[in-house]
Amino acid sequence: MDRVMAVIALLMLGAFLLVVPLFVPHIDLMIAIIGCAVLATYDMWRHLAVKRS
């Protein structure tokens, strides 16, 4: 159940972060959004990998 909620939360964050580059297409904002998404994905992956073992 934790994995399902984590994936749903990550998808919701992705949908929220996708709005900014769609309406304000500046390269510096896109880099910040990509960085945020990568960090959130890495954090979720590490958190779930530690829980599993």
Q: Which domain holds residue 14?
A: 8-52
Residue 51 pLDDT greater than 90, yes or no: no
Burial per residue of 21-47, b for 16 or more beta-carbon CB atoms within 10 angstroms, e otherwise = beeeeeeeeeeebeeeeeeeeeebeee
Structural domain contains residue 2:
no
Q: How many independent structural domains does the chain possess? A: 1
Structural domain contains residue 3:
no
What 8-state DSSP symbol labels residue 24? Answer: S
Structural domain contains residue 40:
yes
| Residue-level pLDDT at 42 | 93
| Residue-level pLDDT at 49 | 81
Structural domain contains residue 1:
no
Residue 52 pLDDT greater than 70, yes or no: no
pLDDT in tens, 16-46: 999 988 999 899 999 999 999 999 999 988 8
| Residue-level pLDDT at 38 | 94
Say if residues 13 and 40 touch (Cβ distance below 8 Å).
Answer: yes
Structural domain contains residue 44:
yes
Per-residue pLDDT averaged across 9-13, rounded?
A: 92
